Each structure stands twice: as C-alpha cells, then as structure tokens.
Chain A
Amino acid sequence: MKVECPKCGAGGRIDEARIPESGVSLRCSRCSERFFFRKEAVEAAATPADMTTPGEPAPKADQQICAGCGGNNGGVPFRTLAGMSVCYRCETFFRYRPFPSWIKVSFAALLVLIVSSLIWNARFIQAYREMGKAGELMARGDYVHSSALLSSAAGHVPEDSYLQVMAVYTEGLFFLSQDKNAQALKNLKYCENKLPASYHVDQLLLRAEMGTAFDSKDYDRLLACAKSLAAKNPDDPFIQASLSSAYACKFAQTGDEDLEKQAIACLRQARAKSKDDASFKDYEQRILHRLQSREVISSDEFKRRFPSGWNPRNTL
C-alpha cells in the first residue's frame, strides 16, 4: 500500500497486512515527521465520487469539505474529528500538531539561558555556602577556618564590599585570638565605620591597641586604652581585669604604690563579677604575679614558667 508523508510529500510503500484497523503511527524517513496512518482514510480518499453505494443517501455537502484545508472529497464524506469533517492529512496534522519552529528554538534558547546562568552565577552559590559555613564556625569560635572561608567567599564575589569588609574583620578576629595584635589592628582599622555597631569594631580596636602597647611596653597607652574599654564595659570581669593588668604593668615599671592599689581595687571588682570562671583565675594569677614580682611577662611565658599554676604569697 502506498503511503505519503503529509509534511514533505515523500512516498513509500507498506505491507497492508501490517496495518491494524485502528491505524498506525509512522515516521517519515526523509523529514522525520511523525504522522498517523489509517487504511480507511486512504481508501476513502481513493474512492471516486460516483462510486458511492446505490441507495445510500448522498452525504451532506459540508461533510465533503475539509474543515481544516477546505479540500473537497468529491461527494464522499470525510471522517469527523471533534465534530468537524476533516481530510486525512488535516486529521493527522491535528492529532500530531507540531510545535512551531520558533517555539522549539525559544525553548532551546531558554534551556541554554538557564544552564549558562547557573554556571555564570555558580560563584554566588559557592560564596553563599562558604558564608553559611563560616558563620557556623565563627559561632563556635573557630576564627581560623571561618576567616579562611570568608576570604574565599569574598574572592568569589569581589563586587560585594560588605563581604570584603567581613572577610577582613574575621581575619582581624583571628589575629586578635592569636595575639598578633599589630596585624589585628591593621585589619580592624580597615573595618572602622564600615560595619554595624553590633560588631563592636571600636572595642576590638581598643583591645588590639592594648595588645600592641603591651608588646611595645608602652604602658601609658596600654592604661589609657584599658580605661576606655573598661568605661564601655563596666560589667565585664575580663575587661575590668585588663584594667587591673594595665595598672599592674605601670606599677611594675614605676613602683608607684597608688597604681598597685588601683590594680588591686580593679581586680577585686572584676573577681566579684567573674562567677569563679577558670580562665579568669588564670588571668588573675598573672596579674597577682606581676604585682608581687614587678616583672611583666607574656601569657605564653607565664604558662611556660608555671605549667601547673602559680600560688601568690597572699591573696586579695
């Protein structure tokens, strides 16, 4: 049996026995068009107008005109589809109506746009993930990894100035936790007036300045910074103790007994607020050692000299 592609008109032959009554779906080997083929439709199309069975009523005129293409079937009624008489070619078209080429091209372009946008913006997704992880680590006090992750995130999104400042800030916290005060001071000065007040950049700057003053044995500056910090945090036992520490340094340097008294007074206030914190006791020991020995040593040196703690001659 002869078959013709409704799209490109390419002809071919098919074994009639292989076509079921309900029809068969075929694909054109030339243009790859899928179409539906039924014997009945071909037979109807092939039946001349004068070959209608005698005695049968003549079909209505509108049933002989295809509602799709307007083609006339020469007296033979077309099959109906959705209440319309349509020719075989139009019926196939309605059943397998293809999407227009511009729709296919548009959707291909949309797909390309989505994929390329995901690739293009992957750096933002990466930065977002790193920021989340950095936040978790910072909450646990792991400034080393947090700082590294935030620096990496800032590298992914260089146009985000806030993220750049955050990366420098976290690195500053890391330096401060490592007693690298000069580097911390540089970082925190960069962040000054660029972050909200909740980040306490001003107080961290004072701490970094105290550290650099201690390292350079500039105890006047150390005392001035400690006073400023203590005035801002009257209820923080460690900051009050740092004021005592500054007085103790100055006492160790000058031997002025008034300074010793002020150091002891500050330490008493701090201890009252400390709630028996173990790390506070370590700090207290260092201050008392400084007051009794008039020797200023760093925290690391103190730990090295007194690995199992230091006992003062008399307590406060």
Chain B
Amino acid sequence: MFFIPGQLIALATFPGVIVHEVAHMLFCKLRGVPVLDVCFFRFGNPAGYVVHAEIDNFNTSFLVSVGPFLINSLLCIIICFPAFFPFQVFGLRHPHSYFLLWLGISIGMHAFPSTQDARVLLSHARRAVHSWNPLAILSFPLVVIIYLANILTIFWLDYLYGIGLGLGLPALLL
C-alpha cells in the first residue's frame, strides 16, 4: 500500500480537480445559483472549491452536489476511449495513449463528490424527503456511498474507479 499526501495526488491529477469545480459551477449556473467565489485549483486542502448562495430547491442541490460525478465520469470515459484500443487491445504503448489515459483517469479519479458535498446533500434531502421526492430518497444511500468512497480513497478507490471507467468499462462492453 502506498500512502502519498493528498496534495501531491491532487497536483499529479490536477485536471480532475479543475473539471470537478467546473462541473459544480456549471450546474450552479444552469440552475441560476449565484456563485460567490470559486477556486479551480490550488496547492492546498481543499485543492479547489466553489462557494455558492444558499440553495432552497432540492433538485438544484442534488444536481450541484452530484454534477461533478456525472461530468467527470463521462469525460473520463470519452477521453480514455480513443486510447483504449491501441493500449489495451493491441498492447501498443504510444505516448499519446499514455497522455490520454493520464488525463482521463485523473478526471475520473475526482468524480466522487466530497464529504462536504455529501453533508449539504444530506441536509437538503432530510427536508425534501417529507414530500416523497424520489431523488431525496435516493440521496440517502448515495450519501453513504459518497462517505464510503471518500474513506476508501486511502485504498486508492478513486484511482481504481478512474481505471475501471477508462479501461475496464470499454473492455466489458466490447
């Protein structure tokens, strides 16, 4: 087991941090939530953040929290796909493929929402669940998964998720 400081991992996979914050901000803009402050990347903890106004609509809160998971996962698949064939099928180690895989897996690694996102989602879900909002009901197991995923990052789950999406999923589907 390798233990590398999170800041170094964030530095090595900085495109994922940037895309994660862009996704938060994108969903804020799409749902009309004022964005008060944003940092796409910095050498610190957290490596990036988006400060937005209080959200009173649960669906908006859900999208803003889960948005990075969707965007990062999708981009990871799309970026790794062109590299999958030369790298995995033909065993060719082109620098171009390595670059695409680094980019795609870095983005996929940062797909999981943070525990802060999970906390916000949970507080909104508690209120929205009284109106039987299906997304609110779904949010409870989702919050558990987010917490577990964040804990399991010490076992490189985020890295495995990126590799699984970038190289495992096409192998499974093709």
Given known contacts A99-B22, A106-B18, A118-B82, is B92 in contact with A82 (CB within 8 Å)? no
Given known contacts A103-B22, A114-B82, is B38 in contact with A97 (CB within 8 Å)? yes
CA distance A37 to B53 in the complex (A): 19
> Is there an interface contact between A84 and B83, defined as CB atoms closer than 8 Å?
no
Choose among B29, B53, B54, B82 the residue that contacts A117 (Cβ–Cβ < 8 A).
B82
Interface bracket on B: 20 to 34
Residues of B within 8 A of A127 (CB): 85, 90
CA distance A128 to B86 in the complex (A): 10
- Number of A-B residue pairs with CB-CB distance less than 8 Å in the complex they form: 70
> Is there an interface contact between B34 and A103, defined as CB atoms closer than 8 Å?
no
Chain A residues 66 to 116 lying within 8 A of chain B, measured CB to CB, are 81-84, 91, 94-97, 99-100, 103, 106-107, 110, 113-114
Q: Is B144 part of the binding interface, using a Cβ–Cβ cutoff of 8 Å?
A: no
- What's the least CB distance linking A66 to chain B, in Å? 13
> Is there an interface contact between A120 and B96, defined as CB atoms closer than 8 Å?
yes
- What's the least CB distance linking B94 to chain A, in Å? 9
- What's the least CB distance linking A25 to chain B, in Å? 10
CA distance A100 to B40 in the complex (A): 10
Residues of B within 8 A of A120 (CB): 82, 96
Residues of A within 8 A of B32 (CB): 95
Q: Is B89 part of the binding interface, using a Cβ–Cβ cutoff of 8 Å?
A: yes
Q: Is A124 part of the binding interface, using a Cβ–Cβ cutoff of 8 Å?
A: yes
Residues of B within 8 A of A94 (CB): 34-36, 53
Q: Is B121 part of the binding interface, using a Cβ–Cβ cutoff of 8 Å?
A: no
> Is there an interface contact between A99 and B25, defined as CB atoms closer than 8 Å?
yes
Q: Is B12 part of the binding interface, using a Cβ–Cβ cutoff of 8 Å?
A: no
Binary interface profile of B, 60-84, with partner A (CB < 8 Å = 1, else 0)? Answer: 0000000000000001001101110
> Is there an interface contact between B35 and A128, defined as CB atoms closer than 8 Å?
no
Choose among B53, B85, B103, B174 the residue that contacts A121 (Cβ–Cβ < 8 A).
B85
Q: Is A31 part of the binding interface, using a Cβ–Cβ cutoff of 8 Å?
A: no
> Is there an interface contact between B36 and A82, defined as CB atoms closer than 8 Å?
yes
Q: Is B100 part of the binding interface, using a Cβ–Cβ cutoff of 8 Å?
A: yes
CA distance A125 to B174 in the complex (A): 11
Chain A residues 109 to 160 lying within 8 A of chain B, measured CB to CB, are 110, 113-114, 117-118, 120-121, 124-125, 127-128, 157, 159-160
CA distance A231 to B100 in the complex (A): 52
Q: Is A163 part of the binding interface, using a Cβ–Cβ cutoff of 8 Å?
A: yes
Residues of A within 8 A of B53 (CB): 81-82, 94
A67 to chain B: closest residue by CB: B36
Choose among A95, A106, A117, A157 the residue that contacts B83 (Cβ–Cβ < 8 A).
A117
> Is there an interface contact between A117 and B40, defined as CB atoms closer than 8 Å?
no
> Is there an interface contact between A124 and B90, defined as CB atoms closer than 8 Å?
yes
CA distance A107 to B18 in the complex (A): 11
> Is there an interface contact between A163 and B90, defined as CB atoms closer than 8 Å?
yes
Residues of B within 8 A of A118 (CB): 81-82
> Is there an interface contact between A117 and B96, defined as CB atoms closer than 8 Å?
yes
CA distance A118 to B100 in the complex (A): 11
CA distance A97 to B18 in the complex (A): 16
> Is there an interface contact between A121 and B38, defined as CB atoms closer than 8 Å?
no
> Is there an interface contact between A82 and B90, defined as CB atoms closer than 8 Å?
no
> Is there an interface contact between B34 and A114, defined as CB atoms closer than 8 Å?
no
> Is there an interface contact between B29 and A121, defined as CB atoms closer than 8 Å?
no
Given known contacts A103-B22, A124-B90, is B85 in contact with A81 (CB within 8 Å)? no
Given known contacts A103-B18, A106-B18, A163-B90, is B25 in contact with A121 (CB within 8 Å)? no
CA distance A119 to B100 in the complex (A): 14
Residues of A within 8 A of B35 (CB): 94, 97
- What's the least CB distance linking A112 to chain B, in Å? 12
Residue from B25, B83, B86 whose CB has the most chain A CB atoms within 10 Å: B86
Taking A121-B82, A124-B89, A160-B91 as given, write out 9 further A-B residue pairs in contact, using a Cβ cutoff of 8 Å, ordered by the A residue number: A82-B54, A97-B35, A99-B22, A100-B40, A113-B100, A117-B82, A125-B85, A160-B90, A160-B92
22 A–B pairs (Cβ distance < 8 Å), ordered by A: A82-B36, A82-B53, A84-B36, A91-B34, A97-B25, A99-B22, A100-B40, A103-B22, A113-B79, A113-B103, A114-B78, A117-B82, A118-B81, A121-B82, A121-B83, A124-B85, A124-B86, A124-B90, A128-B89, A160-B90, A160-B91, A160-B92
The 3 closest A-B pairs by CB, nearest first: A82-B53, A124-B85, A117-B82
Residues of A within 8 A of B (CB): 81-84, 91, 94-97, 99-100, 103, 106-107, 110, 113-114, 117-118, 120-121, 124-125, 127-128, 157, 159-160, 163
